[in-house]
Amino acid sequence: MSATILDGKVLSQEIRAEIAKQVAAMKASGGPTPCLAAVLVGDDPASQVYVRNKEKACEKAGMGSIMHRLPADTTTDQLLDLVAQLNADASIHGILIQLPLPKQIDETRVLDAVNPLKDVDAFHPENVGRIVQGRPRFLPCTPHGIQQLLLRNRIPIAGQNVTVVGRSEIVGKPMAIMFMQRGEGGHATVTVCHSRTKDLPAVTRQADILVVAIGKAKFLTADMVKPGAVVVDVGINRTDDGLVGDVDFEAVKEVAGQITPVPGGVGPLTITMLLHNTLAAARLQSGT
């Protein structure tokens, strides 16, 4: 039997409508218009599309968005100057530095310079530390989107074997931490797999929920999945066959119980959670 599709696009529309309502209420009660500043350095075509989509989503939700495009040869100091300016601007509530940055830029220095109260990606060490300690200020957008996808589809998480394939700072590592926390969306028994994992298929076959975020097209094959498991595909890989995930979707959907498609799965939820964080940042900074 074929797996049920977990539709991230429809769920995103629902959550974005909820956010738009809250933004309208904030503005109607004399609060600020939440505003995101997005910074794009260089001309990576995929990043340009992502940033444009983020801008459009902000506008649709009634939020402000300001885009800063800098040339590919921007220096670390020039980017730090812009971050300082955005930190000091009270009309900007969220700051997003689109990654990856060109290689001459010291990414850690730049991300560490973002005011933690405006850090809507939750990349700042203070915000990461708060997540680890179970008292988050912001949750990182992709892991938060995945957690919401599971919760809102009433997929049990507590007590389940959740396996995360990939240990990136943006997805795998925070995802694993969020699933192991106490509270809603947590209480899972978490395993993290990576390039040094021994007998990966034997490990992934134990998973009730399998999140794959390694950036390798069609890496996860049907023999690596327990029948009936929930499979979440975070990958966006551009190949000759077009856009494909990290999961061999056609084969895995015959084994899994539920599965996210690419596109239309995790991707739209990432942007939705960015809107959520921008609204939360505006609340924090305005005390509304």
Q: Do the Cβ atoms of 207 and 231 come closer than 8 Å?
A: no
Chain positions 117 to 176 lying near ligand GUN, rule: CB under 6 A, are 121, 141-142, 170
Give the per-residue contact string, 167-206, with ligand GUN (x = CB under 6 A; - = no).
Answer: ---x------------------------------------
Interface with ligand GUN, residue 233, by CB under 6 A: no
Nearer to ligand GUN, 14 or 169 (CB): 169
Task: Name the residue whose CB lies closest to ligand GUN.
Answer: 99
Q: Is residue 225 part of the contact set for ligand GUN (CB under 6 A)? A: no
38 is written with which tokens?
Answer: 């997005």
Closest CB to ligand GUN among 54 and 226? 54
Tell me how far, at minimum, the Cβ of 116 lies from ligand GUN, in Å. Answer: 15
Under the binding rule (CB under 6 A), the answer on residue 35 touching ligand GUN is no
CA distance 203 to 133: 27
**Could you tell me the smallest distance in angstroms from the CB atom of residue 180 to ligand GUN?**
21
The Cα–Cα gap between 195 and 208 comes to 21
Cα–chain center distance at 238: 19
73: annotated active-site residue: no
Segment contacting ligand GUN by CB under 6 A, of 96-104, 124-132, 151-159, 244-252: 96-104
Using rule CB under 6 A, residue 39 touches ligand GUN: no
Name residue 209's beta-bridge partners.
162, 230
DSSP state at residue 165: E
57 or 203: CB nearest ligand GUN: 57
Residue 77 appears among annotated catalytic residues: no
Measure CA 188 to chain center.
Answer: 19
How many residues bind ligand GUN, per CB under 6 A? 9
Q: Contact at 8 Å (CB) between 207 and 226?
A: yes
- Establish whether 98 is a catalytic residue: yes
DSSP string across 234-266: ---EEETTEEE-SB-HHHHTTT-SEE--SSSSH
Q: Using CB under 6 A, which of 20, 67, 99, 200 touches ligand GUN? A: 99
Which residue in 37, 41, 97, 275 binds ligand GUN (CB under 6 A)?
97
Contacts of 44 (CB under 8 A, 6+ apart): 100
Q: Using the rule CB under 6 A, give the single segment among 4-12, 91-99, 173-181, 199-207 that binds ligand GUN.
A: 91-99
How far, in whole angstroms, is CA 194 from its chain's centroid? 19
Radius of gyration of the chain (CA): 19
Given a contact cutoff of 8 angstroms between Cβ atoms, the answer to whether 111 and 122 are in contact is: no
Tokens linked to 257: 């119980």
CB 165 within 8 A of CB 212: yes
Interface with ligand GUN by CB under 6 A: which range of 2-10, 97-105, 172-180, 257-265?
A: 97-105
Helix, strand or coil, per DSSP, at residue 196:
coil
Q: Which of 119, 121, 208, 233 is catalytic?
A: 121
Q: Which is nearer to ligand GUN, 119 or 248 (CB)?
A: 119
Positions marked catalytic: 54, 98, 121
- Residues found near ligand GUN in the complex (CB under 6 A): 96-99, 121, 141-142, 170, 270
